[in-house]
Chains A and B, each alone.
Chain A
């Protein structure tokens, strides 16, 4: 097991290195940070543009291999992921946004999984009964609403409540407003900020897990071994809980693990609506601002997340299914 994991991690490191390097070359080829300066009015002098670009190690007049080498040594020796065209540090930007993303995404992800899987199981057992039909209709409805519309809807609804209550129960922007030292007040303030984005993200995530878990469980419920369990004298609910459920969780566990990367960088829309400075928005910003180093750093981060997810998915699957051996 340990040997297997070590081998796997070593493999992943090689893969990551290749992937990140390729991203660096790609981004350097396509992005043109010089244009950020050239389009300024009045245009700064050429020498100062070059100096700024050199300082950030993104000058297209320097050979790409030299830039790559500098960038790489920076990371390996100082864990410095370079600078944006405006000379701000990429590492700092990511670290600060990572915190915001983590606060925003963790709760929503956990809730989505727990609620979604539970509803999926609940509806699968009651296939075609009214509970199933109602919940399925709601799920389908929510599924087709774009995330942005959903988020704005939640905001609208919260403002209504605020108005009715005559008090600011929910905050619709940012994650923190409280500046003092009292932890209790800080936490309440945090919750007041967090609840709306969490709701809008949870709604979207829940629907996905609900629909897939329902399908997985329905597949398993008709399996021969569930019929065997029934023939042994287990009631339908027991047979499903003991025999079908565990098997149906294997694909869900894997999809959860694989979704980790998307969860961090895919919250862009929610972040925009609620004005939260998270990784999703940062990712979009780096691309639009020709921030080569920022883009590559984000790509590296999602690469790590994906591979950690893949590893977790394997471990989960092996834990749930004895047919899979990790070696």
Chain B
């Protein structure tokens, strides 16, 4: 355990994977999860493996760990330290796991055993491989590890249980356990996917540090191109169980050759640039791993596929004239010769002009006006009477105005009150304080049943997860017909409307007799949108509408939302944690923190000139799919987590984490602590709630 920093020779290969294939037996047939992957992992380097769900990236990592299910048939070789890991028994692998090869998983909330203390779990990681360690040594090393991953009060924290920790803190503990024995290889499988963007930035920092300190090679698996741009040295892009492109990070991002790589990059909106053009969705949906097509598995979605692509599967070959770039594509030579980029390959469509184009915002009708609304939840004590012992302000004094044909995004970390705000509006009931007006009509007023139903028709909701928001036992026809029946349409009108709707969201009208599980995630979200549109609403509330979808599918749904708005003039109020998506879709944005709106305004105004320290930190935490930009970028990393909402805060809610606050004089700080900042107009279309916004 002496001397943590190792001298790192980056040319030494620690892990060599050759012709790795993994097949699973399933009821539908053999699932070809991984179909031949080769790579060398160099000491001290970070290899990113990128792909959508089902591309085989996680299966590859589990194969290296030897932790695949028993029904997995693994072939090929995984050479580590001169030995083939695939030939080792489980007992032999157990000696390597956690000592030489360590792993970090996706969901930190479930990765730690709930019934043992953090200290016990770190101790186990140490003692399993070093049975001779004394209690004192274990204790010392545990504290050292926790401090390294940035957990304050390490000594006391050893006694805590996982449920005392937030998601970000738990992921730090998982990282501490992974680096406990100074491993040679660390595999991180989507380590930040379940975390908020501010916490993601913290964890990426910890990972980089941990990797540097141990000198280990890191395999970083993700679907997020922004994250991988900021961390990886080399990248493997996987599709349908095969690597389709393998290169240095810059080549992948600036000179991609495989049309799939281009498509992935083109499908991701940039958070740091104003929307310049439409996103390019990759047509079709991910390939079925049971019945693979004969030729290139991407051929059916590839716009430039030719006959040979459908006949034989291309091998991953070195590219002439490029160093260390390998591509599996029959048409790679042409792509390089003609210097094709995703614009030429996929063809960029023009977006439809909005029906409100040229009409100033002030002249459009107000769709929703929510003034100073508040929503509290009471906290109950235990015992027989469940006494009310406190209040949580989920939404606190929030004001939102939405006009026709525009999109307002609510952004913020989880727990900031975004979804509660949506639900509060959806309720169409009088809020606890303030006032909600829809189309000039106060929802608290006395409305007849009929009037209230009409209001309901005008506001519709699309949920995050299309898997669970559609009744699996209803065919699409019935799902779409339900809202139409409520408004009293007859059969003929319903049939006509359903055909229209299917067409509108880009689905074939003859598929209405199918059930939701016969559609892919993206198609299901389209159905959910069609259902929301059925009754011609004027306002649609979208709760994370694309976050459950794969990147290539996401772009299509975003384009659809954009077109619908431009053609129909419907307004959106949408909640998203992905700021790139927000920048692309929204025309206005409101940043929420602990139930307050801290900054709001026109989208590029807020994104380009953020004034509130929280907005600044939030934006700086968003990874950008541009490796050079990422390298030169200075991040504001917020300390800690969102404070508990039960805490009573007198002044500004952001004080505990504010970077600006720390630079203020004591008198100025006093103001932050005692006086709650009110939203003030700082610019023509930009409101900020911060006492010292001008200073930052």
Contact = CB atoms under 8 A, between A and B. Distances in A.
B113 A229 contact: yes
B174 A228 contact: yes
A227 interface: yes
B115 A227 contact: no
Contacts of B358: none
B111 interface: yes
Interface in B94-123: 94-99, 102-103, 105, 107, 110-117
B383 interface: yes
B97 A231 contact: yes
A225 interface: yes
**Residue of A227, A233, A236, A246 ringed by the most chain B CB atoms within 10 A:** A233
A233 B161 contact: no
A192 interface: no
B1 interface: no
B185 to A, nearest CB: 12
Given A224-B105, A234-B94, A322-B161, A229 B65 contact: no
A229 B121 CA distance: 9
Contacts of B67: 227, 230-231
Nearest to A128: B70
A247 B116 CA distance: 10
- The DSSP consensus for interface residues of chain A is helix
Contacts of A7: 383-384
Contact of B124 (A227, A234, A246, A323): A234
B129 A233 contact: yes
Nearest to B89: A235
A78 interface: no
Given A7-B383, A231-B98, A231-B102, A225 B90 contact: no
A327 interface: yes
A14 to B, nearest CB: 9
Contacts of B163: 322-323
Contacts of B128: 232-234
Contacts of B178: 231
A5 to B, nearest CB: 13
Contacts of B99: 233
Contacts, number: 79
A39 interface: no
A175 B102 CA distance: 61
Contacts of A160: none
A253 to B, nearest CB: 13
Given A231-B97, A233-B96, A233-B97, A224 B111 contact: yes
A107 interface: no
Contact of A327 (B103, B105, B174, B382): B382
Contacts of B111: 224-225, 227-228
Nearest to A242: B124
A238 to B, nearest CB: 8
A243 interface: yes
Contact of B161 (A235, A236, A323): A323
B91 interface: yes
Interface string A81-110: 000000000000000000000000000000
Contact of B98 (A232, A243, A247, A327): A232
B177 interface: yes
Interface string A233-268: 111100000110011000000000000000000000
A229 B124 CA distance: 9
Nearest to A323: B163
B103 A247 contact: no
B125 interface: yes
A235 B117 CA distance: 21
B383 A232 contact: no
A134 interface: no
Interface in B43-91: 65, 67, 90-91
B133 to A, nearest CB: 14
Contact of B115 (A232, A233, A246): A246
A250 to B, nearest CB: 9
Interface in A193-251: 223-225, 227-236, 242-243, 246-247
Contacts of B129: 233
A185 interface: no
A243 B111 CA distance: 11
A225 B115 CA distance: 11
A243 B114 CA distance: 9
B97 A230 contact: yes
Contacts of B177: 228, 232
Contacts of A243: 113, 116
B93 to A, nearest CB: 9
A61 interface: no
A232 B125 contact: yes
B103 A231 contact: yes
A249 B110 CA distance: 18
A323 B384 CA distance: 21
6 contacts: A223-B110, A230-B67, A232-B97, A234-B98, A321-B115, A327-B382
Interface of B: 65, 67, 90-91, 94-99, 102-103, 105, 107, 110-117, 124-125, 128-129, 161, 163, 174, 177-178, 382-384
Given A228-B112, A233-B97, 16 more contacts: A229-B113, A230-B97, A231-B102, A231-B178, A232-B124, A233-B94, A233-B95, A233-B129, A234-B94, A234-B98, A242-B124, A243-B113, A246-B115, A321-B114, A322-B161, A323-B161
**Nearest 6 CB-CB pairs, A to B?**
A233-B98, A224-B110, A232-B98, A231-B103, A225-B113, A233-B97
